[in-house]
Amino acid sequence: MSGGGAFESMVSAVSTSGTRTLMGMFSGKRLKKLLPCKPLEDALKDAKSQCAGFNNFNHEYPCDNVSARWVVEAKERRPEDPIIVYFHGGGYVLDILFPEVTFIASLYQQVANPRLSVLMLDYSTAPTHQYPVAIREAVDLYRQLTEVDLCTNIILLGDSAGGNLALTLTAHYHYTHPEIPSLSGSIAPKALILISPWLNLIPERKGSYEKNESKDCMTHAILERWAKLYAPSEEDRASMWCSPLHAAPEIWKDCLPEQTLMLWGQNEVTFDDLQQFASKLGLKYTEVEPNGVHDSIMFPMPQLFTSLKLTGDRMSNKIFSRIVSYLKDTM
């Protein structure tokens, strides 16, 4: 290994270890204070310079009892125009972080489709707002888009807990959550993009949860704690509405769009869950990042000195470029 490669590996390991330690040491409420978590409107304001020229940037999307804002809205938007609806990660505990905004802005810039709009949901987080509040908000937003605005070309994009939420919303469209009104008047999502989706809220500490614990920025203990903050009831955590991995394969085969892309890292503690889910569903479009950690494209801190080469050019990251290519082909 070259000297530069050794340095990059060292920085990656130290950054991942530091993130893991930080997440493991503090409660969800404390982490919200330590990390630059912000309400969506404020997080978007911080990215104003990168989003200069975006039509209707940071404008509120009107939907009762839901907080959602445009990153960009296509001029004279039509019902058939593509809309990415983005659900952020953070274990259903953390609010929006700046790298999530820069990711979605960079994605829009690289796709370069003037008819594309991007909408972000600022869902309510635990422990103040627990399961199934976030699902209800996602459903209400989707209902407004499809039954009122009559949008027909919606792509759901979510990372980590946001990936869980995208899957749950899709399941609700077909099977209806017992506590949430149905989407009987809506149209199904055209595509899903799932980045390190959280699939199992009652995992056993074995397999990749042990093997990758020293490699990933997440641990079994961190995920278990956040899962209990979001859904205190073990029965809820075990259900398909919290743990998509536990649903029968035929459920997902019936409701997932063919255009579903799932991406994850080789070094994630949840690797076995992700691999099992993709395999039993026979997903056509997947990407595993070699030596990748949880949600690394969204939070490129260990990748800052590797995939991104300190330039901020996300297109040099394999996962990011795969998403861009996929969107261009799908839209």
**Spatial distance between the Cα atoms of 77 and 82, rounded to a whole number of angstroms:** 9
Q: How distant, in Å, are the alpha carbons of 56, 114, 146, 190, 242 from that of 76?
A: 11, 11, 17, 21, 37
Q: Which residues are bridge partners to 155 per DSSP?
A: 84, 191
Q: CB atoms < 10 A from the CB of 213, how many?
A: 16
Least confident span in 131-145, 148-162, 281-295, 312-326 = 312-326
Mean pLDDT within 128-140: 98
Q: Who's near 15: CB < 8 A, 6+ residues apart?
A: 301, 302, 304
Mean pLDDT within 293-299: 83
Tell me: pLDDT of 307 over 50. Answer: no
Tell me the pLDDT of the chain averaged across its residues. 89
Q: What pTM was computed for the model?
A: 0.90
**Spatial distance between the Cα atoms of 49 and 40, rounded to a whole number of angstroms:** 16
Res 4: pLDDT = 46
Containing 195, the helix (H) or strand (E) segment is strand 191-195
Task: List the strands of the sheet with 259-265, edge to edge.
Answer: 68-72, 117-121, 83-87, 154-159, 191-195, 259-265, 285-289
The single-letter code of the amino acid at 141 is L
Res 330: pLDDT = 92
Rg for the chain, CA atoms, rounded:
19
Beta-sheet strands, E only, within 22-178: 68-72, 83-87, 117-121, 154-159
The candidate with the shortest Cα–Cα distance to 7, out of 290, 310, 313, is 310
pLDDT tens string 152-162: 999 999 999 99
pLDDT confidence bin for 24, thresholds 50/70/90: low
Tell me: pLDDT of 20 over 70. Answer: no
Tell me: pLDDT of 120 over 50. Answer: yes
pLDDT tens string 37-59: 889 999 999 999 999 999 999 99
Mean pLDDT within 80-92: 98
Mean pLDDT within 227-252: 97
Res 304: pLDDT = 37
Phi, psi dihedral angles at 240 (to 5 degrees): -65, -20
Phi, psi dihedral angles at 227 (to 5 degrees): -60, -40
117-121 vs 68-72, strand pairing mode: antiparallel
Most confident of 49-58, 217-226, 298-307, 310-319: 49-58
List the chain domain ranges.
Answer: 3-330
Res 37: pLDDT = 82
pLDDT confidence bin for 303, thresholds 50/70/90: very low
Q: What's the CATH number for 3-330?
A: 3.40.50.1820
Least confident span in 10-19, 137-146, 190-199, 301-310 = 301-310
**Spatial distance between the Cα atoms of 82 and 74, rounded to a whole number of angstroms:** 9
